[in-house]
Structure 1
Amino acid sequence: MKFRALLLMAALAFSFQFAYSQSKYEWKQASSAGYSYKYVTNDPMQTRFYTLKNGLSVMLSVNHKEPSITTKIAVRAGSNSDPKDHTGLAHYLEHLLFKGTDKYGTLNWAKEKPLIDSIENLYETYNSTTDVEKRKEIYKQIDKVSGEASKFSIANEYDKLMSAMGAQGTNAHTAVEETVYEEQIPSNALDKFLTVQAERFRYPVFRIFHTELEAVYEEKNRGLDNDGRKMYEAMQYYVFPTHNYGQQSTIGTIEHLKNPSLKAIRKFYNQYYVPNNMAIIMSGDFNPDEVVKKIDEHFAYMQNKPVENYTAAPEAPISAPIVKDIYGPSAENMRVCYRTPAEGSHDALILDLIANVLNNGKAGLMDLNLNKQQKMQSAGAGMVQYKDYGIFVLTGSPKQGQSLEEVKDLLLSQIALLKNGDFDESLIQATIANAKLAELQGLEGNDNRAAALMSTYIQNKGDGWDKSVSWLSDQSKITKQEVVEFAKKFFVENYVVLYKRKGEDKNTLKVEKPPITPVETNAGKESEFVAKINSMTEAPIQPQWVDFSKDVKKSKIGKADVLYTQNADNQLFRLYYKFDMGSWNNKLLPLAFSYLSFLGTDKYTAEQISKEYYKIACSFGMSAGTEESTVSISGLQENFDKAVSLFEHILVNCKANDAALAALKGRIMKSRGDAKLSKDAIMKGLNSYALFGSKNPFNYTLSDQEIANITAQQLVDLLHDVMNYKHTVIYYGPQALPKFTAELTALHKLPSSFKTNTAAVSFNRTSQTANQVLFANYEMVQSEVQWLRSTSKFNIQKQPTVDLFNSYFGGGMGSIVFQTIRESKALAYSTYAVYGIPAKKEDPYTIKAYVGCQADKMNEALKGMNELLTTLPQVSQNFEAAKLSEKKAIETERITQDGVIFSYLSALKMGITEDPRKKKYEELGKIALSDITKFHQEELANKAYTYCVVASDKRVNLDDLKKVGEVKTLTLEEIFGY
């Protein structure tokens, strides 16, 4: 998927009279420290593009805001490049690049290699064998030899390496055109990182394969339970009947998943993982002259080879609508999909603009005509851009009593408006202005920068960066007439319509579970290579603490407290009014806040309000939580007074609109019905039931009758009155505190005294004295299980132990839970266990464990997790790595912007008056594995749990669950409260 390059334009404070013509975006050459590079003039990221002697691309963007570096190692090969008889291969390979080489991930390569070779040959035999019984015998041999090989392998050494150097977000992804390996590392770990990565790609060993293969099976099965995933794959398939975009799914077919070839995977690796087909991309805190030299030194061993990239035959035009039905248990929705031209083309530029003209979340045609007028449940538009083609997508969900066909007609009616020119030309320039604002905000982070560079490398090896940088400049030159003429030619009967209907998917087939004997992980052992990396010296990074007394400035506006932090980086502001009340004080509050967006005043209609905010590139929002609510207003400081005064006008002068409320009620009722079709919502409800019983926060909601009885005037009265309740003013922006308070005092009218909140409803937590199972039936291939238990109240003294326990036990890929449940036993694709931290000091900690697995693995998964909850494995090496990772995460973390204020407020809820990270950092070195073990025994072991299970009663045996504890099957009404 193309992530349109997010750009930070040169001027941080800008006028809406764009002077784009003054900027030129041209490629230039330069040299520094003996290396030549290219760059694009007026690129605010100041990216350097190097091509090393062996063809390896290096893209570097410096950002010194925090001592960390986001890295992406990108390979220009994804599922497009999979062999026709081995789809899913690129994705397999991505998983295997975490398994080590002949130097790490192994205790004795000389003894391990013959077994690895034997496994590879057995898979080739297995692949070519069709007799069912013979296949079973071969797999038994694979399982046996894999068990022998695992005695010499060390699972997850890569993750341990990265964790020990303080890396965060260790991950990778495979898509149609790319495979990308991602890390966020401390800037002082660069030498270690490059040494590890150079070794990682030198000679990857495909060890512990059959358990990893099982994880991919699980990933495939999870996709079969995901209606959104099915819609995505159907969109690809029907929009691209020839191209591999549609004909080869990234995860592969069931038949190919069941018949892997390690030889084919090695061939793929040798063919595409070559320097002239790869890029190392970095954004963060470094010296580019030093970094490019180090990359060159570490990766010079790679040899340039010819790469034959996938070339597709041109797709025939879609000459008539293609209509298809997709079935599944979740709520109905639909898509209209148009095939679009190649990336970087002028057509792609216009279509990206059109997507925002139609749907920008504020004042697009769909926003105003469909969403604001509540003509359907929801509507949207967007672009998915690949190298050769893209997809322009219209999405819609029906409201109550509305057919999917009616939704389609409404979506296409907005295309008709576009073709007829029924929109203001100012909408185009407002779209550009708001896009620029979003990019100002987005490119403050390294990940967005690196993602933009990664995208342009995959699609054109970075050669299109000049177009990416000039994207908004080029769009600003597009006229309304050009949009209209283009729309008339492009949007004809050339689309695919996908209707996601509620019903049984008769094509769903799961990947069957092969018999797997748990493999040895050698968790407490270490290769010589890892020991060498860990012994490398690195310059220390000193942690930085937030001093709440200095970094959060305090003032007053009338009776309201003000919390202030200055924005010294740019001219953007964020203003909040924070209320200590929510739906537990008044059930109508969330509904009233939602209602406001559909109301007008004596001066503006609801649509005009959206347009006014869009014109000035500002926005406002109101959100009501359970105990707190927030009003937020943000945008350019030069438009601060306009944005704030307009909101104040709306709140005071909004008028009741019965028709809008009737439509909102209908959409709410539809949303409530849709939630009952969502397995995620059902599991969330089970969790709440487990912790609080039948009366719980999840099902504390308005009844159908209460919703029916609500009047428009009730909600408007509540909105008119809301500022009479106590609230705290929070400001992050460029204005000095005295000037800000003076300006806001004139804009924000406050009462002489605040009203007292209605007392909040309270909920009693359950006390788990015996195991219990809460079961919800849902038609799915997988089963999902969560373990829950409330424990003691928050105690700041034990917080360092809690955080370290989570890191060691169940919080990531290197954790005990992950290594045991997934790596050793291949029981689940996703699993974790955490000792959850409450949001306020009055509340208890909550133990939560999770396994999502095939239904026929559920009993084994239950047993596996229960063993870990009862007995904590002792792996001193993992413990020390977890401790080091926690310490380095604190050293490199920088709390900035309005995060300073929200950290302060979070600390206050915990009864803390200073940065809690400071105490944690001081205490980490004192904590021993014995302390973690004692904590586990006191808080987790031999305790009663409530097991929340969402699964199909056709695929799991409830009698098996009765062996765990008393089973209570909950109805949807019991879970949701309506």
Structure 2
Amino acid sequence: MESSKLNRLFIQDSRKLAIAPSTMRSKGCFAKMRWLTIVLVACLFWNFSSLVALAAPQDSQAKSSIQPYLDRVQEQITEFTLDNGLKFIVLENHDAPIISFVTYANVGGVDEPDGKTGVAHFLEHLAFKGTQQIGTTNYRAEAKQLNQLDRLFADLQEAQKSGDERKIAKLSDKFVATQSAASKYVKQNEYGNIVDTAGGVGLNAATSADYTSYFYSFPANKLELWMSLESERFLQPVFREFYPEKQVILEERRMRTDNSPIGKMIEEFLDTAYTAHPYKRPVIGYQADIESLSRDDVQKFFQAYYAPNNLTIAIAGDVDPEQVQQLAQTYFGRFQAQPQPSAVDKPEPPQTETREVTLKFPSQPWYLEGYHIPALSHPDYPVYEVISELLSSGRTSRLYRSLVEEKQVALSAQGFSGFPGDKYPSLILVYALTSPGTSIDDLAVALRTEIDRLKTEPIQPGELERVKTQLKAGLLRTLDSNMGMAQILAEYDAKTGDWHNIFNELTKLETITPGDIQRVANITFTQENRTIGRLLSSN
């Protein structure tokens, strides 16, 4: 379901962040270093070892030797936009008879109305429930039961407000009976079964603060089937099994947030770090909001944000771009153009003093620090990604060497930028798990010492080049696939306005200097810009 960097990085620490504000349908988290996605493109043509060798800092010809391959890739990418505003990006790659598809909706948790948190994530669940033709044995009869369920739910809400226990009991019995009647028409997981039968793999989706994406892969001869299935589910979705799915989502929230110490800390931490911007809210939603959501709420959200001009579809693999365009016009041209959804209009005011939040749970103590940083589109954003890598990339990182190995005040220590998203100004987060017998205060001093070093000591050129090379190699290990490429193309196009911006990122990375690191660190890592989270043991 939802996807975030927080989920990825805390999961690396013995899956301690399965509790974060992130829940996933399955393996659909995309671990990406955004400013380095350019290198991924080269992996379509080179093997891993040769590219890493070219990325080595001692090879002064590396950048120029990569360029012909980058140019070749750009020549294999085409794009077109339908009259209704729906944009397609097509990467033609005939290495294998497989096609990967990503439908990227430029809508996430930040776009939800107040009091309706969790609706974007809820809609993602329901997008797998089928259409008027898929997932039902008799839609006309089913629709009557679904509408009756909605009326009963509204009546129940009113009865609960009034406290009329007799009426609540009567309506509850009727609601259960009607839900049972509606379920008789449901063909469970028919959409997924169609995909599986046709050889599809990786059917999945992810919701984040910034976006929602739906993705899977098909054999190359199933292009038209994908066009039919994907257009139908966003042209005529039926949000069936709404109320049972609500219970599934509420259980996800209980497991990953309410009953999880670090999950609860993250929710409180974001609520403290932000005062206005909706990044402060959990993507999975608040419990009370989820409980009160109706099918009508989801329908209105869908109609507002799943407009064709708010969708981007990326297709990568063994395809003919002309055939893609013809089929897209046939199937997706049916969508009606709509007004562009409004963007988030609640900017976060500058932070002027340290903010702190402390929670107590039966847990090993954690310490967190967050600092406000610019959005992905800002020229300095790549510098923040390099700082994150410098602090937390494995056993050679500064936090690991200092806090875990030398001072032995932490069992693990990490950091990353773009939390909980990067479409808007967000946070760079650093955090550590205390070692036995270590106080939170001692850990805080040690962690901040490493942060302050970035401000006072210029990084050595050799260390900076090592970090850059690590980033390139790490990206290749995680995103060397058509699916990864399709996801990146769609995301970059939606967030920056042009997928071509991917091909500018390598240059930005290579030009970062020790002076840039020190300059950005001094701007960012200030007392006024700091939010502190302490998760203390209640044992």
Identify the residue that residue 229 of structure 1 maps to in structure 2.
263
Query: Does 1:375 find its partner at 2:408?
Result: yes
Identify the residue that residue 430 of structure 1 maps to in structure 2.
466
Q: How does 1:483-882 map to 2 (within 5 A)?
A: 483-493=517-527, 494-503=529-538
Query: Does 1:304 find its partner at 2:337?
Result: yes
Q: How does 1:391-470 map to 2 (within 5 A)?
A: 391-460=427-496, 462-463=497-498, 465-470=499-504
State how far apart, in whole Å, the 2-side matches of 1:440 and 1:327 are: 40
Query: Does 1:7 find its partner at 2:38?
Result: yes
Secondary structure at the aligned position of 1:201 is classed as: helix
The one of 141, 151, 164 equivalent to 1:121 is: 151
Q: How many residues align?
A: 487
Query: Does 1:174 find its partner at 2:229?
Result: no
Question: Could you tell me which amino acid in structure 1 is paired with residue 456 of structure 2?
Answer: N
User: 1:438 and 1:253, CA in 2 relative to 1: closer, same or farther beyond 3 A?
Assistant: closer
User: 1:209 and 1:310, CA in 2 relative to 1: closer, same or farther beyond 3 A?
Assistant: same
Question: Could you tell me which amino acid in structure 2 is paired with residue 284 of structure 1?
Answer: G
Q: Alpha-carbon deviation of 1:177?
A: 2.0
Question: Could you tell me which amino acid in structure 2 is paired with residue 498 of structure 1?
Answer: G
Identify the residue that residue 320 of structure 1 maps to in structure 2.
353
State how far apart, in whole Å, the 1-side matches of 2:441 and 2:72 are: 47
Q: Is the Cα–Cα contact under 8 Å of residues 281 and 454 in structure 1 kept in the other structure?
A: yes
Identify the residue that residue 121 of structure 2 maps to in structure 1.
91
State how far apart, in whole Å, the 2-side matches of 1:168 and 1:401 are: 47
Identify the residue that residue 603 of structure 1 maps to in structure 2.
none
State how far apart, in whole Å, the 1-side matches of 2:304 and 2:388 are: 38
State how far apart, in whole Å, the 1-side matches of 2:71 and 2:156 are: 56
Q: Is the Cα–Cα contact under 8 Å of residues 107 and 120 in structure 2 kept in the other structure?
A: yes
Q: Deviations over 1:517-554 (max 9, x none)?
A: xxxxxxxxxxxxxxxxxxxxxxxxxxxxxxxxxxxxxx
State how far apart, in whole Å, the 1-side matches of 2:73 and 2:535 are: 43
Identify the residue that residue 162 of structure 2 maps to in structure 1.
131
Identify the residue that residue 266 of structure 1 maps to in structure 2.
299
Q: How does 1:74-113 map to 2 (within 5 A)?
A: 74-113=104-143
Query: Does 1:390 find its partner at 2:420?
Result: no
- Alpha carbon RMSD of aligned pairs, Å? 2.5
Q: Is the Cα–Cα contact under 8 Å of residues 231 and 332 in structure 2 kept in the other structure?
A: yes
User: 1:44 and 1:415, CA in 2 relative to 1: closer, same or farther beyond 3 A?
Assistant: farther
Q: Is the Cα–Cα contact under 8 Å of residues 118 and 290 in structure 2 kept in the other structure?
A: yes
Stretch moving more, 102-111 or 222-231: 222-231
User: 1:156 and 1:267, CA in 2 relative to 1: closer, same or farther beyond 3 A?
Assistant: same
Query: Does 1:59 find its partner at 2:89?
Result: yes
Q: Alpha-carbon deviation of 1:306?
A: 0.8
Secondary structure at the aligned position of 1:346 is classed as: coil
User: 1:19 and 1:322, CA in 2 relative to 1: closer, same or farther beyond 3 A?
Assistant: farther
User: 1:398 and 1:110, CA in 2 relative to 1: closer, same or farther beyond 3 A?
Assistant: closer
User: 1:468 and 1:239, CA in 2 relative to 1: closer, same or farther beyond 3 A?
Assistant: farther
Q: Deviations over 1:903-951 (max 9, x none)?
A: xxxxxxxxxxxxxxxxxxxxxxxxxxxxxxxxxxxxxxxxxxxxxxxxx
Identify the residue that residue 533 of structure 1 maps to in structure 2.
none
Question: Could you tell me which amino acid in structure 2 is paired with residue 491 of structure 1?
Answer: F
State how far apart, in whole Å, the 1-side matches of 2:73 and 2:268 are: 38
Question: Could you tell me which amino acid in structure 1 is paired with residue 481 of structure 2?
Answer: G
Instruction: Specify every segment of 5 or more residues in structure 2 that has no aligned partner in the other structure, as ranges.
Output: 6-31
Secondary structure at the aligned position of 1:300 is classed as: helix
User: 1:289 and 1:232, CA in 2 relative to 1: closer, same or farther beyond 3 A?
Assistant: farther
Q: Alpha-carbon deviation of 1:349?
A: 1.7
Secondary structure at the aligned position of 2:485 is classed as: helix
Instruction: Specify every segment of 5 or more residues in structure 1 that has no aligned partner in the other structure, as ranges.
Output: 26-39, 505-978
Identify the residue that residue 140 of structure 1 maps to in structure 2.
173
TM-score, scaled relative to structure 2:
0.84
Identify the residue that residue 78 of structure 2 maps to in structure 1.
48
Secondary structure at the aligned position of 1:258 is classed as: helix
Secondary structure at the aligned position of 1:429 is classed as: helix
State how far apart, in whole Å, the 1-side matches of 2:206 and 2:169 are: 32
State how far apart, in whole Å, the 2-side matches of 1:298 and 1:410 are: 58
Q: Deviations over 1:492-541 (max 9, x none)?
A: 1111111122238xxxxxxxxxxxxxxxxxxxxxxxxxxxxxxxxxxxxx
Larger Rg: 1
Query: Does 1:241 find its partner at 2:275?
Result: yes
Q: Is the Cα–Cα contact under 8 Å of residues 272 and 356 in structure 2 kept in the other structure?
A: no
Identify the residue that residue 505 of structure 2 maps to in structure 1.
471
Q: Alpha-carbon deviation of 1:300?
A: 0.5
User: 1:78 and 1:181, CA in 2 relative to 1: closer, same or farther beyond 3 A?
Assistant: same
Stretch moving more, 307-316 or 237-246: 307-316
Q: Is the Cα–Cα contact under 8 Å of residues 80 and 310 in structure 1 kept in the other structure?
A: no
The one of 324, 345, 362 equivalent to 2:378 is: 345
- Counting helix residues as a fraction of each chain, which structure ranks higher? 2
Question: Could you tell me which amino acid in structure 2 is paired with residue 7 of structure 1?
Answer: I
Q: Deviations over 1:332-371 (max 9, x none)?
A: 2121111111112122121111112222224333243333
Secondary structure at the aligned position of 2:430 is classed as: strand
Q: Is the Cα–Cα contact under 8 Å of residues 492 and 501 in structure 2 kept in the other structure?
A: no
User: 1:236 and 1:46, CA in 2 relative to 1: closer, same or farther beyond 3 A?
Assistant: farther
Structure scoring higher RCO (CA < 8 A, sep ≥ 6) equals 2
Q: Is the Cα–Cα contact under 8 Å of residues 367 and 535 in structure 2 kept in the other structure?
A: yes
Question: Could you tell me which amino acid in structure 2 is paired with residue 165 of structure 1?
Answer: A
User: 1:168 and 1:155, CA in 2 relative to 1: closer, same or farther beyond 3 A?
Assistant: same
State how far apart, in whole Å, the 2-side matches of 1:74 and 1:44 are: 20
User: 1:45 and 1:162, CA in 2 relative to 1: closer, same or farther beyond 3 A?
Assistant: farther
Secondary structure at the aligned position of 1:207 is classed as: coil
Question: Could you tell me which amino acid in structure 2 is paired with residue 473 of structure 1?
Answer: T
Query: Does 1:192 find its partner at 2:225?
Result: yes
State how far apart, in whole Å, the 2-side matches of 1:229 and 1:471 are: 33
User: 1:447 and 1:234, CA in 2 relative to 1: closer, same or farther beyond 3 A?
Assistant: farther
Q: Is the Cα–Cα contact under 8 Å of residues 111 and 344 in structure 2 kept in the other structure?
A: no
Secondary structure at the aligned position of 1:217 is classed as: helix
Question: Could you tell me which amino acid in structure 1 is paired with residue 143 of structure 2?
Answer: K
Identity %: 25
Q: Is the Cα–Cα contact under 8 Å of residues 102 and 483 in structure 2 kept in the other structure?
A: no
User: 1:369 and 1:251, CA in 2 relative to 1: closer, same or farther beyond 3 A?
Assistant: closer
Q: How does 1:870-949 map to 2 (within 5 A)?
A: none
Question: Could you tell me which amino acid in structure 2 is paired with residue 200 of structure 1?
Answer: R
Query: Does 1:278 find its partner at 2:311?
Result: yes
Q: Is the Cα–Cα contact under 8 Å of residues 56 and 276 in structure 1 kept in the other structure?
A: yes
User: 1:135 and 1:343, CA in 2 relative to 1: closer, same or farther beyond 3 A?
Assistant: farther
